[in-house]
Amino acid sequence: MSESMLNMYISFAGIISLFLAIGLIYLSRHKMRGILAGIVAFFAYVFMIFGGIIIFYIVFSGPTA
């Protein structure tokens, strides 16, 4: 597998984790109450940080030839 294809799959993982974070944050703020909302929000922010780090890596790793 080439480096370009690997970067594409890694970026897909970052994008999916960011979308998952959006959904979990919405769920925890509008549909849940109590400690369960806090747990879901914690996981949402973990996914957001993880996705942000992945996208940061992909953007600043530069072009692949």
CA 14: distance to chain centroid?
A: 5
- Kindly state whether residue 55 falls inside one of the protein's structural domains: yes
- Residue 41: the pLDDT is 96
Task: Give the domain extent around 55.
Answer: 16-60
pTM to 2 decimal places: 0.85
- For 26-53, the DSSP string reads HHHHHT--THHHHHHHHHHHHHHHHHHH
Q: What is the count of structural domains for the chain?
A: 1
| Burial category of 9 from C-beta neighbours within 10 Å (exposed 0-12, middle 13-18, buried 19 and up) | exposed
pLDDT in tens, the chain (65 residues): 888 899 999 999 999 999 999 999 999 999 999 999 999 999 999 999 999 999 999 999 988 76
